[in-house]
Amino acid sequence: MRDDPLFYLVAGACVVVLLILLTGIGGFAKGGDFNKKHANRLMRWRVIAQFIAVILLVGFVWLRSGG
């Protein structure tokens, strides 16, 4: 798996989703102006990034299972 660039792409996509999610949760917990300004945008970006990560993950599993 360490020689597979697609694995690193999938892992990177998952990390991006995690960072967006943590930023959104942190903004929500803190509240204030940042949350009012960016909460919906962060949610949209998370959904898009999560969709891409799931597609990459399914593609990775399909290709490695003999697809």
> DSSP per residue over 1-56, as a string?
-TT-HHHHHHHHHHHHHHHHHHHHHHHHHH-HHHHHHHHHHHHHHHHHHHHHHHHH
* pLDDT attached to residue 57: 96
Torsion sign over Cα 36, 32, 30, 12? positive
Range of 22's domain? 5-64
Per-residue pLDDT averaged across 14-24, rounded? Answer: 96
CB burial of residue 17 (10 Å; 0-12, 13-18, 19+): buried
Number of domains within the chain:
1
Residue 7 has pLDDT above 80, yes or no: yes
> Whole-model pTM?
0.85
Residue 17 above 90 pLDDT? yes
| pLDDT mean over 3-30 | 94
